[in-house]
A = this chain, B = another copy of it.
Amino acid sequence: MDNRPIGVFDSGVGGLTAVRRLHEILPHEDIIYFGDTGRVPYGTRSAETILKYTRQDVRFLRKFDIKAIVVACNTVSATALDIVANETDVPMIGVVWPACAAARAATKTGRIGVIGTPATVRSGVYDRMLKAADPNLAVFMQPCPLLVPLVENGRVHCGDIVAETVVREYLAPIKAQNVDTLILACTHYPLLSEVVAAEMGENVTLIDSGAAAAESVRGMLVPAEERQGKTRYFVSDDPQGFNQLAPGFLNGSLDFPAEQVDIDAY
């Protein structure tokens, strides 16, 4: 038994889609969540800046005696994880390879679409990892810089012409490739599933990268003893906005309200 908490971080609230799945499948685990709400978004910034922010996020989580870190952010997983994992002596689990594994399990035609932030797409990591596993896969990537602002402003439902138009434009080149599987390579995007699914049609499987990462954690940890796990939340901006948004992402209320962290100090 290992009762130490699991650390989870993201640029903002998106990583809560991974926490939600962790709560479902690992209810005995304690979790420490950090959302860098004072510096979100990461996905439109340079690789160098993302690396700097990631190092600070990891140093903050290491303040706690954690047993693993879930990098619930595709941008970090795609651009900084290898470097930081190499500097860190607890296991770090990103969202990229669990999402790739889930997509490979789901696809029948071998044609896979990937939507993500500009930084994630620019990194090319999804294309490389999918083709390294199976060179016969055809992978189509599309950067979607406006989707995080849309999610953060609650524009996530069918019938919203702005959400529908932006999603339709971004998905058009992917849809034209007749993919049967679409990786939502940003932990904010599951909130837009309704609009994305309506656009792609019922024959396309959507892969939730945060949920896939949560599933992959299960086999990699010494579990906690049977008890009710607790989750603490930390953010770098005023917690008020986070406390309002989080229940929607978690589909449930917070164990404790979020606390504020001066992330520059790490």
Contacts and interface: CB of A to CB of B under 8 A. Distances in A.
Contacts of A166: 162
Interface in A142-187: 145-146, 149-150, 152-153, 155, 161-162, 165-166, 169
Interface stretch (A23-31, A40-48, A126-134): A40-48
A218 interface: no
Interface residues of A, number: 27
Contacts of A236: 49
Contacts of A110: none
A57 interface: no
Chain B CB within 10 Å, residue with most, of A37, A146, A149, A165: A149
A46 B240 contact: yes
Interface string A93-133: 00000000000000000000000000000000000000000
A237 B162 contact: no
Interface string A25-66: 000000000000111000011111100000000000000000
A153 B145 contact: yes
A145 B146 CA distance: 12
Contacts of A165: 161-162, 165
B45 A38 contact: yes
A165 to B, nearest CB: 5
Contacts of A44: 152
Contacts of A45: 37-38, 237-238
A264 interface: yes
A237 B46 contact: yes
A48 to B, nearest CB: 6
A49 B235 CA distance: 12
Nearest to A45: B237
Contacts of A153: 145-146
A258 to B, nearest CB: 12
Contacts of A149: 145-146, 149
Interface of A: 37-39, 44-49, 145-146, 149-150, 152-153, 155, 161-162, 165-166, 169, 236-238, 240-241, 264
